[in-house]
Amino acid sequence: MKDASFSYGEADILNSITFSVAEGEFAGIIGPNGAGKSTLLKIIKNLKRIKSGEYLYRGEKITGGSRKVSAEAALLPQSLEVSFPLTVFEMVMMGGTPHKKGVFDTREEIESALGAMEFCEISRFSERQFGELSTGEQKRVLLARAIAQRPRLLLLDELTANLDLHFQTFLLKKIKRLNEEGMTVIFVSHDINLSSQFCDRIILLSSGRIIGNGTPEEILKYSLLKEVFGVDIYIGVNELNGKLFVIPM
């Protein structure tokens, strides 16, 4: 992104955003409510178009519909409303839609879906209705669907919201493994501590502008977080892994 701006009518959401994410990076985007985080992910996925500035994806200037972005970038939304009954297997099979060339499912699409389900440990849910699953189980299905798309870029919008510690850790460990195998990840979250634990770099958004962009150690500083979130905080170091953690006071 270079000097990218976006607005809903006269309401400015993003203002002169400039940043880049390297292939194979695990980047986090944090910031208060209304900062523009989810909108930025939708722009990267090409679901929304910037009003001004420039958006490049792997060397291609994105100005409208892009088959490359559609096929190579998978978005896990905050929530998904399913208005008709679908089994878990049918949901995961939908991940192959951007690559589909015909009406019938190919062997490659089926094998990709089965492999994604095995990776996310949901094979035993195959014939269950998606709507009958718990929130944590549904998130695992949505991750499997994204993996079945065979993406190069994984976009996560509040993946761990409303999940217990088990599901948070399970999902992020799986995603970290995908990242270590070469997949680029952009992780939007309100959970600063999870971002610190898993991300190589953190982009701090506030009021539609980038306030900071650097390693967790460069971004998780008292003065910067106090300015953005408006609360006193304590920043400590996890003795087990050396990562920073934040506690609001």
Kindly tell me if the per-residue pLDDT of 197 is higher than 90: yes
| Residues belonging to the chain | 249
Q: How many domains does the chain have?
A: 1
Whether 80 shows a pLDDT value over 80: the answer reads no
| Model pLDDT, residue 77 | 86
Whether the per-residue pLDDT at 89 is higher than 80: the answer is yes
pLDDT, greater one: 111 or 64 = 111
Which pair of structure tokens corresponds to residue 227? 């300015």
For residues 3 and 17, the answer to whether their CB atoms sit within 8 Å is yes
Q: What is the mean pLDDT of residues 165-172?
A: 94
User: At what angle are helices 107-119 and 135-148 packed, to 10 degrees?
Assistant: 140
Confidence of residue 104 (pLDDT cuts 50, 70, 90): low
Q: What is the pLDDT of residue 95?
A: 87
Give residue-wise pLDDT tens across range 119-150: 999 999 999 999 899 999 999 999 999 999 99
What average pLDDT does the segment 213-239 reach? 95
Per-residue model confidence (pLDDT) at position 66 = 74
pLDDT value at 99 more than 80? no
Question: Residue 67: its pLDDT value, please?
Answer: 79
Identify the pLDDT of residue 27: 97
**Residue 100: is its pLDDT beyond 70?**
no
Domain that holds residue 213: 2-248
Q: What CATH number is associated with residue 210?
A: 3.40.50.300
DSSP for 183-206, written as a single string:
-EEEEE-S-HHHHHHH-SEEEEEE
Report the percentage of the chain scoring pLDDT > 90. 78
What pLDDT score does 82 carry?
Answer: 74
Residue pLDDT, tens place only, 20-52: 999 999 999 999 999 999 999 999 999 999 999
Confidence of residue 159 (pLDDT cuts 50, 70, 90): very high
Confidence grade of residue 98 (pLDDT, cut at 50, 70, 90): low
pLDDT at 91: 93
Q: What is the pLDDT of residue 62?
A: 86
